Amino acid sequence: MATTSATSSGNLDVNGIVNQLMTVERQPIAKLNTREASYQAKVSAYGSVKGALAGFQTALQGLNSVSKYQSLTATPSDTTVFSASATSSAVAGTYSLDVTSLAQAQKLVAAGQTSSTAAIGSGAATTVTFDFGTISGGAFNAGTGKYTGASYLSNGSGTKSITIDSSNNSLQGISNAINAAQLGVTATVVNDGSGTPYRLALSSSNNGVSNSLKISVSGDAAISSLLAHDPANNAGQSLAETVTAQNANFKVNGVTVTKTSNTVSDVIPGVTLNLNKVTTSAATLTVARDSAAVSGSISSFVKAYNDLNTMLKAVSSYDAANKRGAILQGDSTVRALQSQLRSMLSTPVTGTTGAVTSLSNIGVSFQKDGTLALDQAKLDKVIASNFSDIAGLFTSVGKASDSLVAYSSATSATKPGSYAVNVSSLATQGSATGDLNLNAPPYTIANGTSINVTVDGITASVALTAGATYSAAQLASMIQSAINGTSAFSSVGASVAATITPSGFMSITSSRYGSASNVSLTSSAGTPVSAFMGTITSGTAGTDVAGTINGVSATGSGQRLVSGAGDSTGLGLTISGGTTGARGTVNYSQGYASSLDKWATSILASDGILANRTSGLDKTIKDIGNRRTELETRLVAVEKRYRTQFTSLDTMLSSMNQTSTYLTQQLARL
């Protein structure tokens, strides 16, 4: 506050007197400033606690994953033969591997052209359709690259087409169009140095015998003459096969396996193999528990707790040597946090089915200074004997006693425990099964045939491949391929399986389970649907799974069953098959990382204990500011009064001095 200037006659030090008096008057403000600084220091300390707790929660979230505690390693004896990786579902053990052949893709080449850029044909719009399937039977002439007497069966993954017209009807234009369409075929124009050197080379993007090409051309005759290729038609093979598609053939522990790819993930559970070369003697794959990863995760958990504990002690401890307490010494909020942490870490995990239920079981224990320490030797023994139980000690885990019942999810409302599962109805898929017997082939699909298909509520026009010699199986395969290759379905993951029932009827089944699953067909152009379905063209919708969890009716959606009430609220299970009736139990547990993560979330919430505490301090600081402003305003008036009073006194003294001097002078003259 500025000091008001004073006029002094020199009899009194008005400024000095007023300043000293105001120093006394300002003592309450000084006390308020001290209190404010203390509260601000506490707010800052709480900010440090909040930051440390947020860091602790981040560390916990990184550790709240089953894969952190159940990882396995997959080690090949010879990495030039194969590489491998394993997931948590793999089984530790040793496997022998003999590779007799690697999978390879079919390669085709077209007749040579004199130019790669000259137009081919008239430029009329021409549709080139690619299908993928298996060539079987007949004879292959390696010299001509052509088949004689072979048959071809689509793999049902769907056909894909491009349009060739005047904008791209050169050899290079066709190559560019194929590559741009990402059909699953790679095109290249090669120069073989001959008189007609430019040749279009095609390669299937996928290995294996079921990915051989059949190419149909509708439109310009010159394009058809160049590209149309049907391995089942002796005269319809415009392309020459330079490399025959081949499967990978190998043995795992003596069991013969054939796959269309050199990357295999469905032979050894949880293990992905990448085959590199043929073996001359058996190689070995060793799948082992990743003890180092598990130890690392647990060490990270211990460190995260100790870091938080160090912070809490730093802001709340007493320095005996310097006889000085930290800013939050004795603070009830910090004491509560410390107490809750220790209590949670000392309480065994409930809901687990294994022998490992507490930190002490794996060698993690509290020290005298409040920190956690890890006994590595004890942990190593637990990893060796109870490896699968460790994950449940730190993460949220559900284990079902029925192999066809799988834990899928839980919510914050789900409480740990053991819950009985009862299934009253299994989920089914929607399907349409015709009533026309197809046991008298061949069947014909006319040119330009398209049908309207609805799969799981999505309707699209589906073009069928024309043909006059379809068997029932080939017809089903073609229809399945046509539906699954339609982008309206494939773009949303909808697909069907078309089969011929033992009675000879066409059956088209959605891959989806539940009440939203259904299939229906209507005629549009060309061959009517009744030609292969009969009078039945609309399907029956699937049904959702139904049952109870923990004795309470649960909600079914497809194969997913979710508890909606009681302690099991939010517990989600996938019922992938089996029978109706009692289906055992699901044990759900929340490990330390999981439960502490939830605890930290509640503490750090906008209405949590830290927010409430700092909010209270902020309010107090604001009140102090208001009180200080009021005092400052009052002191201005006080100082003004003091200056007025002492200035008047000074003036009066001056006057009296002048009078005294005058009287003294007059008396001296007497």
- 366-386 pLDDT tens trace: 999 899 999 999 999 998 888
- Per 3-state DSSP, the chain is made up of helix, strand and coil in percentages (nearest 5) of 35, 30, 35
pLDDT (average), residues 632-652: 93
- Please state, in angstroms and rounded to a whole number, the distance separating the CA atoms of residues 581 and 129: 50
CA angle 262, 258, 483 (to 5 degrees): 85
Instruction: Indicate the pLDDT class of residue 10, thresholds 50, 70 and 90.
Output: low
Q: Please report the pLDDT score of residue 12 as a whole number.
A: 82
Q: Please report the pLDDT score of residue 8 as a whole number.
A: 54
CA angle 367, 372, 378 (to 5 degrees): 95
Q: Which H/E stretch holds residue 4?
A: none
Predicted structure pTM score: 0.67
Nearest to 155 by CA among 140, 139, 175, 134: 134
> How many Å is the Cα radius of gyration of the chain?
42
Instruction: Indicate the pLDDT class of residue 484, thresholds 50, 70 and 90.
Output: confident
Q: Which residues are within 8 A (CB) of 95 and not within 5 positions of it... i.e. 6 or more apart?
A: 252, 253, 268, 284, 285, 286, 287
- Please state, in angstroms and rounded to a whole number, the distance separating the CA atoms of residues 506 and 32: 89
CA angle 218, 219, 221 (to 5 degrees): 105
Q: Which residues are within 8 A (CB) of 486 and not within 5 positions of it... i.e. 6 or more apart?
A: 158, 453, 460, 461, 462
285 to each of 200, 249, 280, how far by Cα in Å?
Answer: 42, 17, 16
Cross-strand bridge partners of residue 275: 82
* Position 63 pLDDT exceeds 80: yes
Beta strand 572-575 pairing with 93-101: unpaired
Percent of the chain at pLDDT exceeding 90 = 77
- Select the more confidently predicted residue: 41 or 2: 41
Please check whether residue 507 is in contact with residue 431, taking contact to mean a CB–CB distance below 8 angstroms: yes
Give residue 203's identity as a one-letter amino acid code.
Answer: S
pLDDT (average), residues 626-651: 94
Nearest to 196 by CA among 114, 109, 118, 116: 114
Q: Please report the pLDDT score of residue 11 as a whole number.
A: 75
Hey, which of 109-118, 475-484, 660-669 has the most confident mean pLDDT? 109-118
* Position 321 pLDDT exceeds 50: yes
Q: Which residues are within 8 A (CB) of 225 and not within 5 positions of it... i.e. 6 or more apart?
A: 238
Q: Please report the pLDDT score of residue 9 as a whole number.
A: 58
Written as six digits, the tokens of 443 are: 């069947």
The 10s digit of each residue's pLDDT in 278-293 is: 999 999 999 998 888 8
Q: Please report the pLDDT score of residue 5 as a whole number.
A: 47
Q: Please report the pLDDT score of residue 19 as a whole number.
A: 93
Residue 261, classified by CB atoms within 10 Å of its CB into exposed (0-12), middle (13-18) or buried (19+), is middle
* Position 7 pLDDT exceeds 80: no
pLDDT (average), residues 225-246: 95
* Position 3 pLDDT exceeds 50: no
Which residue is it, tokens 């020290």? 367
Residue 656, classified by CB atoms within 10 Å of its CB into exposed (0-12), middle (13-18) or buried (19+), is exposed
Percent of the chain at pLDDT exceeding 70 = 98
Q: What is the overall mean pLDDT for the chain?
A: 92
